């Protein structure tokens, strides 16, 4: 998992509606290389399976603000939409794991076990 600190001008993306920042997020994901697979089923995108949706979990805690974003294929977008729009537990778990990794990176080194 790659954790990247956003620039201050990108912090607003974490709270802005996805409809307004979708292109900017997709551009960032293309630059990072995280746009190659569906965030839910992990199948690679190709000519037949293209990114059709985007979902996000924003977590704010003692370690700061972290925004986890995934591109979705059409089948996964359809599954989420017809499940009441709630995010699957796998994505929420992945976002929590990312936030816990961020907390570990910020922990002081050394100490006693």
- From first to last of the 113 residues of the chain, give the pLDDT tens digit: 445 555 545 666 667 776 777 677 767 777 766 678 888 898 999 988 888 888 888 877 777 777 888 888 999 999 998 888 888 888 888 888 888 888 887 777 776 65
Q: Per the domain annotation, does 40 fall within a domain? A: yes
Write out the residue range of the structural domain in which residue 63 sits: 19-103
What is the C-alpha to C-alpha distance for residues 31 and 107, in angstroms, rounded to an integer?
28
- CA distances (Å), origin 68, targets 15, 23, 38, 54: 12, 15, 14, 11
Indicate if the alpha-carbon torsion angle 26, 30, 33, 37 is positive or negative.
positive
**Structural domains counted in the chain:** 1
CA distance 63 to 104: 10
Q: Is residue 109 in a domain?
A: no
């Amino acid at each position: 998992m790659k954790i990247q600190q956003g620039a201050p001008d990108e912090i607003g993306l974490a709270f802005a509606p996805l409809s307004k920042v979708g292109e900017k997020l997709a551009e960032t994901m293309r630059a990072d290389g995280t746009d190659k697979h569906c965030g839910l089923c992990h199948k690679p995108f190709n000519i037949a399976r293209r990114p059709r949706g985007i979902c996000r979990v924003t977590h704010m805690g003692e370690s700061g603000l972290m925004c986890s974003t995934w591109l979705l294929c059409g089948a996964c977008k359809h599954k989420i939409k017809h499940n009441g729009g709630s995010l699957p537990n796998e994505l929420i778990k992945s976002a929590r794991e990312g936030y816990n990794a961020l907390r570990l990176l910020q922990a002081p080194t050394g100490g006693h076990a």
